Amino acid sequence: MYLCGANKEKMILTVDIGNTKIKAAVFEIDEVLGKFIFDRVDAEKKITEILKEFAEISQIVLSSVGKDDFDLLLWLESCTGLTVINHDSRFPFDNRYATPETLGIDRMVLSAGAVLQFPVQNRLVIDAGTCVTYDFVDSDDNYLGGAISPGLRLRYKAMHNFTAKLPLLYPEIPTGYVGDSTESAMHSGVVNGLLYEIEGFIHRYEQQYANMVIILTGGDAEFLAKRLKNTIFANSNFLLESLNKLYLYTIQIEND
């Protein structure tokens, strides 16, 4: 087990535990010093390596969308300061969701990051991962909700798993809108279909709300961003940056 030495309380390690992968980043205030991605089974080994490389890390800020790994949390807590973002954490918005206890922590963190980075604007955060989530926070910092739909890989898997003959494919740029084979038709349907969906949501929000920033993040953000017509702020690491901003916001609130 890695034991932390004396720290100078300068650096923060943000950790996003997903369903299969863990993403992490080291911050000094707003500067990113390192970014990492690894499997959940390698968490202790990889985080040990990060803590050794960045010995001045004094706080780990963590959020998880899956089941809590209590052994991992206990180990992290014994190593250095640990802040786990959950529903009891302080957020810079008024949560108007009808079932706030069911709102995913990842969606809350992303919304907090949007509020802190883009003040006094309407914000639509689109997270293109396993699922595609849409989260809207208005210019008065009210979280109003959004939408959830299957992500790219889920769409491919669904077609394969729930039909007799369609193959299992992986995201690929369609050669056109009219697929001239089963595979090209599937690529057109999945990729173009998701692009149409995102464009449609953006158009609907822009019709109703002015002065709006659109943030696209998640594992498929870069793949999709190049093919979207709308002006968006694309950042695949926005959740990690939002964890850092939320922690700094919490510290500031506590010190005021």
Q: Is 127 an active-site residue?
A: no
Q: Which residues pair with 174 in a beta bridge?
A: none
* Measured CA distances, 24 to 35, 110, 131 (Å): 6, 15, 20
Q: What is the end-to-end Cα distance of the chain in Å, rounded? A: 37
CB 174 within 8 A of CB 192: yes
Q: Say which of 106, 127, 135, 220 is annotated catalytic.
A: 106
CA separation for the pair 54, 48 (Å, rounded): 10
State the CB neighbour count (10 A cutoff) for residue 29.
Answer: 9
Closest-CA residue to 112 (of 83, 137, 149): 137
Whats the size of the chain, residue-wise?
256
Query: Any idea which residues carry the catalytic annotation?
Result: 106
